[in-house]
Amino acid sequence: MVEKVDLFIQRNNYNTISRLKSCGNRNFQQEDFYSNNPSFGTAIPINDSVNKSNIRTELSSKQEKKQYKELLSKLDRNSRKNLELLLKTGILLNSESDDKSTVLENLYKILTEKRASGLDNINILKDTIGTISYPYKITQQFGDIPKKYMPEVLDANNKTISDKKYDVNVEHSGTCVAASTEFKLAKQRPAEFARFANELSSEKLSVTKNIKLENLADNTLNGVWLLNAFEIPYEMKDYNNVELKFAPDKNAIIRAKIQTNDKDPYERTALDVLMQSTFMQIGSQQSYNTLTDRRAGKFNQNDKGLIEFEKTFTESVVFDKNILSVTYQTVDENARLIGYETDLETLKKHLTTAIDMGENVILGYTQTNSNNVIVNGHEITIVDYKKDLDGKLTFICNDTDDGISKPIEYSEDFLLPKIHHAALPKEIVESDMNIVPSWKEGLEVYKNLKNIQNQAA
């Protein structure tokens, strides 16, 4: 049965005229996007690690048994069940993290090591277990700020909310890219997600990540240019390997404390706050403010969300993969959809190939008015697909902004024409389309914005 959902949903717009596809916000009445197509509650594995053959489901050492027993003793009934399920499915002992630590080891650190001021060990532990067990619970919905926190909030935010740019009453966030990245990390790399959760909520409020520069650009110098342009703290290990430092913005801890103590249903957890802030910081050149959900930075004139280039960089460094953002829609200077860069069969092949490789594909879709002018856009994640008896595909997706903690389904006829861009591994698309590397596009964006700013001055 198709569930009815609120058709008046705030979504995120793209600046398509200048190809700066931003996840900002605007009001849009969604007449058909949900009512005609989705079904909910699709039965799929809780986590991609379930499908891997090299899983381990039994505690083998005294240390593992001790850690597991202690975790169980501190958890409520629901979290205990989730922990037991993680063990049975092999996720708990998964060690595909940057430092080869397991989910279990990181959960134990969350329980036993000191958290950042204002955070609670048990809350972060339960959030981490719950999210890894069922990543569809991740949301980008900000919570309200109770009056008792306002003095601290105002003090951290220039003591005023009269100006729009300082407004902390965030009704609809622009963190769809960050929330989708959080979802993909929890679903595809649970051990790495647990490592991020532990370190980002620890006293140091930061996490390190080792990547290869070849996954950012065609040579070391261009890779270093990208890191410098995005203002990511880093340490070169050798000509190709570099250690990055990720951290949430300085105000994220205030939001995280509020969500620790005063979280309402369907709002972000404290862990969501820290994760999404960190990914927004990466993409916005360290300019994000969690209190206002606004950013600055050198690549985007819009102060909400991340543009396509920023999204691609964020995904590339978080997953240490050569990710290309492939644009499929052709848009004129008036933001009017006039065609496609390739046929829809090729687009479908790209998506299914990526999914068959084990990828969850973060993509941006658009909505148009009666004149085919793009009025809205949003980021979602395709996690799987299935075929009907006629060979038609249905894509199983996740949306962090639909208020529904379940996967949703879209037919290929409905979804494919709406896809503006998708983040895909380079090897999938390079033989079909001539894609400009992300670092080259970023350099051009930077030059164009500089010219606009110089002309304005």
- Average pLDDT of span 375-388: 94
The residue-averaged pLDDT of 70-88 equals: 98
CA distance linking residue 433 with residue 248, whole number of Å: 36
Between 428 and 431, name the one with better pLDDT: 428
Residue 280 and residue 347: Cα distance in Å, rounded? Answer: 28
| Contacts for 394 with CB less than 8 Å, ≥ 6 apart | 385, 386, 387, 388, 409, 410, 411, 412
DSSP reduced 3-state for 40 = strand
Tell me the pLDDT tens digit for each residue of 341-356: 999 999 999 999 999 9
SS3 call for 351: helix
Widest Cα–Cα separation across the chain: 67
Q: What is the pLDDT of residues 169-185, one digit of tens each?
A: 888 899 999 999 999 99
Contact assessment for residue 252 and residue 277, using Cβ atoms and an 8 Å cutoff: yes
Q: What is the reported pTM?
A: 0.88
pLDDT digits (tens, 9 = 90+) for 260-299: 999 999 999 999 999 999 999 999 999 999 999 999 988 8
Confidence (pLDDT) at 24? 46
Nearest in space to 97 (alpha carbons), one of 216, 197, 241: 197
* Phi-psi domain of 350 (left: phi exceeds 0; alpha: psi -120 through 50; beta: other): alpha
What does DSSP assign to residue 136?
A: G
Look at residue 245 in the predicted model and tell me its pLDDT: 98
| Amino acid present at 309 | F
pLDDT value of residue 44:
40
Mean pLDDT in residue range 373-398? 94
DSSP 281-309: HHHTTS--BTTTTB---SS-SSSSS--HH
Structure tokens at 190: 């649970």
239 by Cβ neighbours in 10 Å (0-12 / 13-18 / 19+) ranks as exposed
pLDDT at 448 (0 to 100): 74
User: φ and ψ at 201, to 5 degrees?
Assistant: -95, 0
Rg (CA), the chain: 21
Per-residue pLDDT reduced to its tens digit, 118-168? 999 999 999 999 999 999 999 999 989 999 999 999 889 876 556 666 788
Q: Are 352 and 391 in contact (CB under 8 A)?
A: no
Percentage of the residues of the chain whose pLDDT score is greater than 70: 84
